[in-house]
Chains A and B, each alone.
Chain A
Amino acid sequence: LAKTTQPISMDSYEGQEVNITCSHNNIATNDYITWYQQFPSQGPRFIIQGYKTKVTNEVASLFIPADRKSSTLSLPRVSLSDTAVYYCLVGYNNAGNMLTFGGGTRLMVKP
């Protein structure tokens, strides 16, 4: 499984765009990049998943360069409710492949 590295914490203010970058130098050809969000006292929640280039949904965008050795989760115009831990995961896109969580990035959004 590819190891991931992401910042331990980030601070932002309401209304700003937040970009969280994850490094995964050993990503394999079959691996997908998946981001989860975890609020205090709750289980992780799937945010977005991608393989290459750019993926966008109603919550976030995911940018993946051509070499796929890193990825950037972009949260547009954050609010206080976006304060959470964000996990970057890399692995096969098949059932049975247990997710390997790193330490995640603690995002604190301030008023």
Chain B
Amino acid sequence: NAGVMQNPRHLVRRRGQEARLRCSPMKGHSHVYWYRQLPEEGLKFMVYLQKENIIDESGMPKERFSAEFPKEGPSILRIQQVVRGDSAAYFCASSPRVVANYGYTFGSGTRLTVV
């Protein structure tokens, strides 16, 4: 079974450009979560999606950030007009409908650098 796949692994953008981060959940997982991790800090929840629906976006900045999880294809985290403060590691996790005893599965992350 392939794990949670994130791409690209590294992304460099100039200030003002757009960044698109992709996440393909594990097979059979219908729940996707995005987290952001600043250097030397813990992970901060951003948004929780199910297929075609945003369930909770309480951790996502109101401006410039958006997320989707279409019926077909990966989940996308989109950051418009990036600024230096957006530089961070962005992790995606997925879970099945019922988490049971094995928790959530994380991808290896996308490291965004804004120059």
Contact = CB atoms under 8 A, between A and B. Distances in A.
A111 interface: no
Contacts of B33: 98-99
Main secondary structure of the interface of A (DSSP, over half): loop
Contacts of B96: 95
Given A94-B98, A98-B33, A99-B33, A43 B93 contact: yes
6 contacts: A43-B4, A43-B93, A95-B99, A96-B31, A101-B44, A102-B42
Given A42-B108, A46-B104, A98 B42 contact: no
Contacts, number: 63
- Please name the 6 residue pairs, one residue from A and one from B, whose CB atoms are nearest each other, closest first: A43-B106, A46-B103, A101-B42, A101-B43, A98-B45, A43-B91
A95 B93 contact: no
B27 to A, nearest CB: 16
Contact of A46 (B41, B55, B91, B102): B102
